[in-house]
Structure 1
Amino acid sequence: MTSKSTRDFVENIDSQRSIKTAFAVLHKTMRTASSGRQYLALSLTDKTGRIDGRMFPDSKVENLFNSIPTGTICQVEGAVTEFPPGSGKMNIVINSLQELCDEEYQLEDFIATSPHDQDKQVKEIRKVIQAMENQELKSLLKSFFCDQEFTKEYYQAPAAMIHHHNYLGGLLDHSVEVLLICKRLCELFPQLDRDLLLTGALLHDVGKIRTYDYHKVKIEMSRESILLDHLYLSAEMVHEKMRHLKFPDELSQQVLHLILSHHGKVNLGWGSSVNPKLPEAVALHHADNLDARVKEMMDK
């Protein structure tokens, strides 16, 4: 039985050695080595990060593949190796892997959460809303951020399944980071409509509260998001609020444009339904992309 008080976290695995500890199985796939031998490749995780695992079973790989459900917590025994050699990247050659019962582990050891001070982030959002001069945009933001049911989801949701900010609280982290980048852009380019851009920063990804289902350690796409995507869901949620608030048509169109174009030009294939055509839309796209790409590189 794995101890509940001590375990080997991914962040501490930095040398070749034997290991016996618990990880969550995030992904699995069957692969073929250069020798022609099939093996099972696993992505293992805990709250501190991910590590790859390889298992070369004596029996059929298909049988082992089917016996290991993703999202479960398993005790892993094997050897930490550097692979590819000279890469500095550690992974585990697994000798044995056994699914654990709920009472054999502490779930909080495997749930990745934001490292940031949530209260400080919320204060930043409230400060921005309070300073808004455009009363329509202030009312729109209040309709979201004064809604306890919405903020409970917004502050806990992940921002992605695999890529940047893919942990509980990731959406809040990403949104506030984009907000701070946009505030700096407004200082560099005072011609920008500050209130419009900061509204876009806070609302561009609100649909992500409906995008992901989170069960134990596994983030999955919701059925709704598979069919509609988070840009549409975000625009729909914001449009509904603006209709209720009887928003001016032009301002409504500008806000929706920022949301629907924030993944950049349509021909990039990143999901935008329209090219950014306002300076604020261009600024939001690059702020969003900058935050996502930098975060992704830092997490590698």
Structure 2
Amino acid sequence: MPGKTRFISELTPGLGDMEDIFLLVRATQGKARNGPFWTLTLQDSSGQVDAKLWSPLSQSFSSFTPGQVVLVRGRTGAYQDRLQITIDGLRILNTESPGPNDPRVDMDQLTMTSEVPPENLLAKLKTLLREGLVYPPWRKLAESALNDPVISEAMLSAPGGKAIHHAYRGGLLEHTLSVCQMSRHVCEHYPQLDSQILLVAGAFHDLGKAFELVSEPAPDYTDQGRLLGHIPLGLEVLQPYLEECGADPELILHFKHILLSHHGEYEYGSPKRPKTAEAMILHYLDNMDAKLNQIASIFEDAGDSDEPLWSPYQTTLQRFLYKPKPTPDGNGKATTAKKKDNGQCSLPLKA
């Protein structure tokens, strides 16, 4: 039986009957007048889509497990201006021991990965650090940690989050590189900042995410992630390299403070609040990069259209979002730049 035939990015409301293979990312059970139903989030390499499994078919499934591969038969429609699949049939596939009539499953077609290959992102990060770090201990820290195969392999595969943003392989590196690049620009504008400590802290502020989350088969937390969280995990992983790099103890203390405080506020999961200019800058860069990536993802379905558009209500941001009509340039073309995938650590944004 043939494998995947159409990707989520190719689906539009009103396509009629469809049948294809997806990765199950999330499953939530609800209750309606005619019985229980399931809200599923399905994924392939091109994106994610919500799907509804209504009663009585829903009663055939007592539970779902994220990471299961499913064969879905249904119809495409729209709910609150977003694509949605109404499921008429669903079969959980055994990818380890497929039956003779099971479709061929290629996990690469179901796994979301950064647009730029993670290996290229890591190489760009190393180059940026090599060019920007002139203090030998900081350079030694960056080189020794990023050349550790355990750390590098974890960073290559890590997502930037579980669901809201960058929830795919390479997402962590995408965000890390973006924050480091922005830190260079900020330091050019504010030359009084310690550009080197901001750069090396930007490179490792979310290192713990590489051990807090796994990206395959679907983004989820590890036991370490649930019990400790990415901030203490990152410092724990870096501690041997900090001890060996030879940096001044006062600089190491500042470096640790920047990492510990990058979530900004206690209510956002930050062990400490930023108490230096560099710590404050990293917090804002981290949060800004996350929010802009999240907003870009929300309006991704609109493509390159310049038409104004409202989003559905965003629970994590506690608001609707608006995509305004862009200002034209002298030739009558929109002046907005093409979307660039960045983002991480999505902190609550105050209204």
- By the TM > 0.5 criterion, same fold? yes
Counterparts in 2 of 1:297 and 1:265: CA distance versus 1, 3 Å: same
Within 5 Å, which residues of 2 pair with 1:253-292?
A: 253-266=253-266, 269-292=267-290
What is the Cα deviation at residue 37 of structure 1? 3.7
Aligned counterpart, 1:93 = 86
Q: Deviation per CA, 1:193-242: give whole Å up to 9, x if none.
A: 11000001101011122112344x22221111111110111122223321
Counterparts in 2 of 1:156 and 1:214: CA distance versus 1, 3 Å: closer
- In 1, the alpha carbon distance for the partners of 2:226 and 2:40 equals 24
Indicate the SS of the match to 1:54. Answer: strand
- In 2, the alpha carbon distance for the partners of 1:263 and 1:225 equals 16
Match of 2:75 among 73, 79, 93: 79
What is the Cα deviation at residue 126 of structure 1? 2.6
Which stretch shifts more, 101-110 or 71-80? 101-110
Aligned counterpart, 1:155 = 156
Aligned counterpart, 1:26 = 25
User: More helix by proportion, 1 or 2?
Assistant: 1
Aligned counterpart, 1:51 = 49
Q: Which amino acid aligns with 2:26?
A: H
Does structure 2 conserve the Cα–Cα contact (< 8 Å) formed by 1:28 and 1:65? no
Indicate the SS of the match to 1:65. Answer: coil
Aligned counterpart, 1:133 = 134
Q: Deviation per CA, 1:134-168: give whole Å up to 9, x if none.
A: 12211111111232332122122112111221111
- In 2, the alpha carbon distance for the partners of 1:120 and 1:69 equals 32
Which stretch shifts more, 123-132 or 184-193? 123-132
Does structure 2 conserve the Cα–Cα contact (< 8 Å) formed by 1:211 and 1:222? yes
Within 5 Å, which residues of 2 pair with 1:198-213?
A: 198-213=199-214
Does structure 2 conserve the Cα–Cα contact (< 8 Å) formed by 1:155 and 1:169? yes
What is the Cα deviation at residue 119 of structure 1? 5.2
- In 1, the alpha carbon distance for the partners of 2:45 and 2:62 equals 24
Counterparts in 2 of 1:121 and 1:293: CA distance versus 1, 3 Å: same
Does structure 2 conserve the Cα–Cα contact (< 8 Å) formed by 1:178 and 1:291? yes
Does structure 1 conserve the Cα–Cα contact (< 8 Å) formed by 2:121 and 2:177? yes
- In 2, the alpha carbon distance for the partners of 1:138 and 1:284 equals 19
- In 2, the alpha carbon distance for the partners of 1:47 and 1:36 equals 34
Percent of paired sites with the same residue: 24
Which stretch shifts more, 115-124 or 290-299? 115-124
Aligned counterpart, 1:69 = 65
Q: Which amino acid aligns with 2:66?
A: T
Q: How many residues align?
A: 289
TM-score (norm 1): 0.90
Q: Which amino acid aligns with 1:95?
A: D
Q: Deviation per CA, 1:166-203: give whole Å up to 9, x if none.
A: 11111111100111111111111111111000001101
Does 1:171 find its partner at 2:146? no
Gap regions ≥5 residues in structure 1: none
Counterparts in 2 of 1:111 and 1:119: CA distance versus 1, 3 Å: closer
What is the Cα deviation at residue 112 of structure 1? 0.6
Indicate the SS of the match to 1:234. Answer: helix
Counterparts in 2 of 1:156 and 1:65: CA distance versus 1, 3 Å: same
What is the Cα deviation at residue 282 of structure 1? 0.8
Does structure 2 conserve the Cα–Cα contact (< 8 Å) formed by 1:231 and 1:271? no
Does structure 2 conserve the Cα–Cα contact (< 8 Å) formed by 1:206 and 1:234? yes
Match of 1:298 among 296, 299, 315: 296
Counterparts in 2 of 1:79 and 1:180: CA distance versus 1, 3 Å: same
Counterparts in 2 of 1:167 and 1:245: CA distance versus 1, 3 Å: same
What is the Cα deviation at residue 253 of structure 1? 0.6
Indicate the SS of the match to 1:218. Answer: coil
Indicate the SS of the match to 2:157. Answer: coil
